[in-house]
Amino acid sequence: MNDRKAIEEWELKTLAPYALKACESQGRRFAEDEHAYRTCFQRDRDRIIHCAAFRRLEYKTQVFLNWSGDHFRTRLTHTIEVAQAARTIARSLGLNEDLTEAISLAHDLGHTPFGHAGEHAMRELMKDHGGYEHNGQSLRIVDEIERHYLPRFSGLNPTHELRYGLMKHRTDYDKPLFKDLEERESPSLEAQVANSADEISYNAHDTDDGLYSGLLKWDAARESELFVQAEQYARANVPEGEEDLLRYQLVRRLKDLQVTDLLQYSAARIAELKITTVQDVLEHQSKDPIIDFSPEFKKKVKGLKLMLYHKLYMHRNVRRGMEKSTRFMKEMFERYVSEQYLMPGGFHKRIADGESVYRVACDFISGMTDRYALEQYKKLFDPDTW
Ligand code: MG
């Protein structure tokens, strides 16, 4: 049987020297005994899968509002796709697959309902009250908000390496809560892989969902060089007239092209920068990550993103849903801030204990699924819903 010790030894022998090893973890904020047959990073992953915020991802929008159709990505399926791509990349580069998977599964836990429109609305609402940013909120969830281990500690008590990985896009959230994390260090390669896998996944699946919905037209999508490249491959391999198959093969190729370029360039960059230890990674000073697309390919990825932005994300049908949901969120936020007893008991208790009403309302609303938010909105404002 491979117990924890055996897995830790296997990591030491097999993983790249610049990979984070479970046995070298800086540990958890609250000391716990190690598990018999799972490493600390495997436990991080399992705690995330078992938390309520993870289950709620199922009913949070990725791009298409959650009830638009059964085949569109939700934030949960997006997260699973990110973890899958991230594991492939991590394994190829000799990185710690368990940690990469855990960071990937946790990366969107703090996302608001209603996709990017929801995030944008929350950022606006919180701009004078300590800020909101979904990676920062993911960290708040694993550190504070999930309550499975009381009274020993609040949060999931993840390892330093997982918490640090969630800071990868750190901007302007409530920094004082995380003052034990150093800002100056560069993210681990495992965190950088999760970050790239996020981008690779939404580029591919948003193209897929856009075409499937009919909102993104094939002709419009051909503005992107990368799309054309993937389409050429698909057309050469799919019988004439098989539209669904064509889309499937195109999206598959789109993902493969991105992963392949990222893997090849990142491996070359690790060698060129003479990255041989974890410390080399953390001390890497450039604003360009080590895990990255080649410069030429990056231009193509940018072209794909611009195409998606103009032809899909800004499509009036997508915008209309998003604009409407943004309004719901603002109205609810104002109600909860001015009348805290409209929130469930645990939330106003936090205010009584001295927390800012804005932060508490932000935690409550950003934790909602799309459908729960709509239900609450109706209960607050619709005269026929009680
Ligand atoms: Mg994401």
**pLDDT tens by residue, 232-257:** 999 999 999 998 999 999 999 999 99
Counting the structural domains of the chain, the total is 2
Domain boundary, last residue among 318, 350, 365: 318
Task: State whether 340 and 215 are in the same domain.
Answer: no
- Residue 93 identity (one-letter amino acid): L
pLDDT tens, position by position, 68-100: 788 999 999 999 999 999 999 999 999 999 999
Tell me, in angstroms, the distance from the centre of ligand 1 to residue 81's CA. 10
| Residue 386 maps to a domain | no
Rounded to the nearest whole angstrom, what is the distance from the C-alpha of residue 242 to the centroid of ligand 1? 31
Q: Report pLDDT digits (tens) over 272-322.
A: 999 999 999 999 887 789 999 999 999 999 999 999 999 999 999 888 888
Question: What is the dihedral angle through the alpha carbons of 98, 99, 101, 106, rounded to the nearest 10 degrees?
Answer: 140
- Whether residue 314 sits in one domain with residue 336: no
What b/e string do you get for 67-101 counting C-beta neighbours within 10 Å, with b at 16 or more? Answer: eeeeebbbbbbbbbbbbebbbbbbebbbbbbbbbb
In sequence order, the β-bridge partners of residue 28 are 159
Question: In 29-106, at which residue ranges do the beta strands (DSSP E only) sit?
Answer: none
Boundary of a domain, candidates 318, 345, 370: 318
Ligand 1 mean position to 10 CA, how many Å?
Answer: 31
What is the CA(240)–ligand 1 centre distance, in A? 34
Q: What's the average model confidence in pLDDT over 179-205?
A: 85
DSSP state of 214: T
Gap from CA of 77 to ligand 1 centroid (Å): 10
Report the pLDDT value the prediction gives residue 171, as an integer from 0 to 100. Answer: 39
Distance 47 CA to ligand 1 centre (A): 19
At residue 286, the pLDDT reads 79
Is residue 229 domain-shared with residue 343, that is, in the same domain? no
Q: How far is the CA of 101 from the centre of ligand 1 (A)?
A: 13
Name the residue range of residue 71's domain.
4-318
CA of 198 to the centre of ligand 1 (A): 5
Are 303 and 360 in the same domain? no
Check whether residue 161 and residue 278 sit in a common domain: yes
Tokens of 31: 């000391």
CA distances from 67 to 50, 55, 73, 357 (A): 24, 17, 11, 31
User: Ligand 1 centroid vs 69 CA: distance in angstroms?
Assistant: 20
286 and 358 belong to one structural domain: no
pLDDT confidence bin for 183, thresholds 50/70/90: low
In a domain, 312, yes or no: yes
Give pLDDT tens digits for 317-333. Answer: 888 888 888 898 999 99
Ligand 1 (ion): residues with CB under 5 Å are 108, 198
Query: Which among 275, 299, 318 is the end of a domain?
Result: 318
Whether 244 and 169 map to the same domain: the answer is yes
Q: Write the CATH number for 77.
A: 1.10.3210.10
Instruction: Find the 345 Cα to ligand 1 centroid distance in Å.
Output: 31
Q: Are residues 339 and 199 in the same domain?
A: no
Contacts of 240 (CB under 8 A, 6+ apart): none
Regarding whether 355 and 209 lie in a shared domain, the answer is no
